[in-house]
Amino acid sequence: MTRFVSHAKNGQLAVTNIASLMLAIAPLWLMLAAVNTSAQTSDNVSSSTATTSPASQTMLGVDNVGDLQLKWKAGVGTIIDQALGAPLVVNGIVYSSFLDNEPMALNASTGATLWTFAMVDSGTPHTVANGVFYFVGEDGNLYALNASTGAKLWTFAVGGSRFNVGQFVVANGVVYVGSPDGNVYALNAGTGAKLWTFTTGTGATSFSFAVASGVVYFGSTDNNLYALNASTGAKLWSFAAGGQVFSSPAVANGVVCFGSTDNNVYALNASTGAKLWSFATGEKSSPQVVNGVVYVGSAAGYVYALNASTGAKLWSFDDGVFPVGPLVVADGVIYLGCSPGLCAVNAGTGELMWGTDPTFGFVAAVENGVVYTASGNSLFALNPSTSAQLWSYTVPNITTPNGMFTDFSLITVEDGTLYVSTATGVYDPQQPGDFASQWVYAFSLGADLFLRINPSSATVHQGDLLTYAFPVWNLGPANAVHEVLNTQVPAGTTFDYVRISGTPGLGTCTTPPYGGTGQIVCHQNGSMAPNTTWTVRLTVKVTPPAGTVITENAATMADTTDPNLANNTATVMVKVQ
């Protein structure tokens, strides 16, 4: 079984490209421990031709998504509940928050664990804002952690438990959170200090917030949609629907839209709360407003497109499934689970563009013209125009005495890398004999690095200076981020100097002292475009007598996945005459 879940211990770590390369050149890499860290960067250190800006990004699209490869996977806990949060990726850190497991942060390049918060298991939801990681613990507290270190900054007792704590949102330095006691709290995002409290008419179990133009909008189980002054908590207005309001409000162009369990979708004046129109849909999902059109799914199996100003029905689509799951609207297309499986509907006309195999059900993401979905225990990337399969990856499934499942979170795509959380195991992993696990996977386009060593002369004499050039080519297809060259002063020589060719300022090296021996590590400090080179030059003094063969070897790697490790190492021999 496959499911997408929209909400979100140290474990095993598999880093495919780095681990394999290190095994291939273990003797060279083991010498890293002996590097003289007191060595400095030479003024001659610089960088090469056609290096891209560190801010440049590799974009995943229809033309290259088929080249995605596993970059790393990290085990992040033993599953208790199948609630998966889509990985949050901020400033090179992946934040993982699985229901009933400890929140943790991973290095986005390697998957290595940066920190784990072991004080409490996580509930849902979670977010990162202004260097702070926020989540609701299973103890009903809202936690704020330093996003870089995992250190606890503050907590606030929301009340209840992880199952009935309302949603929260961080906006303009304030955290707005709902509580099962019927209150909405506004907290200082930096300190956790309570700024104000607003009490609804009942013990609410869920709030979904929208913050726009200094106003906080949210629905409640007391059948009302509320609008509060975001700074003071003063009620600006409320609107009583005919049923409970679990829907997320959508605010656009002075109109707020929401759905209610009374099977209607409503549009109100966002400033006054005056009703503009309502439409009976048998509403199931929260409405979305895109380009003046309200799109909403219904429990009756229909998708509606309504004029946002008047509520007039523009079209409806019968998805053949009861009820409609979440809608994804992107680039003029609506994606949804339907009959036969996954459907793409023209957002302007309501006409079916295509439907997939029945095993596909929901959209994990639509990013840069690529549709991501799943079937069984496999991820897929589809062409948005034709539904043709562009890429797939199968995660391990686990069979236990009580069955098995594979859950996928929604997908995050950041800087050319695809991140997804998975849970594999059984429906009730607390049964004896069951086993389950949770993982975060990262997939990226490869950057094939190609290394050679070119000595300045095929023959040398005792006392000569010998220069080795180490050109590293990026054969693509992706940018190579943070290349590293590892080599050493070869036996029979002593260190003279090192330099990196090209524009100054984009490379650093750690070296032995002048006249010494040992390891040399050079870093390319940016992102190198395909079909460009980065060259390190090492000059040494030849000390052995005639007849000696001097052997030099080197290896290169980068943060970016390398699909071909066979050309990442090189060796050259020079004979002393």
Q: What are the pLDDT digits (tens) for 96-151?
A: 865 556 788 999 988 999 999 887 766 556 899 999 999 888 788 899 999 999 99
Tell me 548's DSSP state.
P
pLDDT the model gives residue 298: 82
- What secondary structure letter does DSSP report for 53? P
Of the pLDDT bands very low, low, confident and very high (cuts 50, 70, 90), residue 409 is: confident
Q: What pLDDT was estimated at residue 504?
A: 46
CB-based contact 551:490 (threshold 8 Å): yes
**What is the set of domains in the chain, with CATH numbers?**
27-56+447-576 (2.60.40.1530)
Tell me how far CA of residue 199 lies from CA of 122, 133, 208, 249, 348, in angstroms: 26, 27, 15, 19, 41
Q: What is the pLDDT of residues 306-322, one digit of tens each?
A: 999 999 999 999 877 65
Angle at 428 between CA 424 and CA 431, to 5 degrees: 115
Inter-residue contact 199 to 166 (CB < 8 Å): no
Segment among 93-107, 126-140, 456-470, 482-496 with least mean pLDDT: 93-107
In the predicted model, what is the mean pLDDT of residues 233-240? 97
Distance, in Å, from the CA atom of 515 to the CA atom of 87, rounded to the nearest integer, reads 49
pTM of the model: 0.75
Average of per-residue pLDDT values in the chain: 81
Triad 429, 434, 440: Cα angle to 5° = 65
Q: Does position 72 have pLDDT exceeding 70, yes or no?
A: yes
Percentage of the residues of the chain whose pLDDT score is greater than 90: 48
Cα 194 to Cα 167, 176, 290, 563: the distances in Å are: 17, 10, 35, 52
Annotate 469-536 with DSSP letters as a single string.
EEEEEEEEESPEES-EEEEEPPTTEEEEEEEE-SSBTSEEEE-PPTT---EEEEEE-SEEPTTEEEEE
Side-by-side strand order, sheet with 183-188: 168-171, 174-178, 183-188, 194-199
pLDDT average, residue stretch 46-57: 34
Query: What is the average pLDDT across 63-81?
Result: 80
Give 16 or 88, the one with higher predicted confidence. Answer: 88
At 363, the pLDDT band (50, 70, 90 cuts) reads confident
pLDDT at 297: 86
Q: Is the pLDDT of residue 478 over 50?
A: yes
The two tokens of residue 75 are: 């085990």
Specify which of 34-43, 204-213, 355-364, 525-534 reaches the highest per-range mean pLDDT: 525-534
CB atoms closer than 10 angstroms to residue 340: 14
pLDDT one-digit tens code per residue, 141-200: 899 999 999 999 999 998 765 555 557 899 999 999 988 888 899 999 999 999 999 998
277 CB-side CA count, 13 A: 13
CB-count exposure of residue 196 (10 Å: 0-12, 13-18, 19+): middle
Average pLDDT estimate for 18-41: 32
Q: State yes or no: pLDDT of 31 exceeds 50.
A: no
What would the mean pLDDT of 402-424 be, rounded to a whole number?
A: 80
pLDDT bucket at 422, cuts 50 / 70 / 90: confident
Whether 288 shows a pLDDT value over 70: the answer reads yes
CB-based contact 408:422 (threshold 8 Å): yes
Peptide linkage before 323 cis (omega within 30 of 0): yes
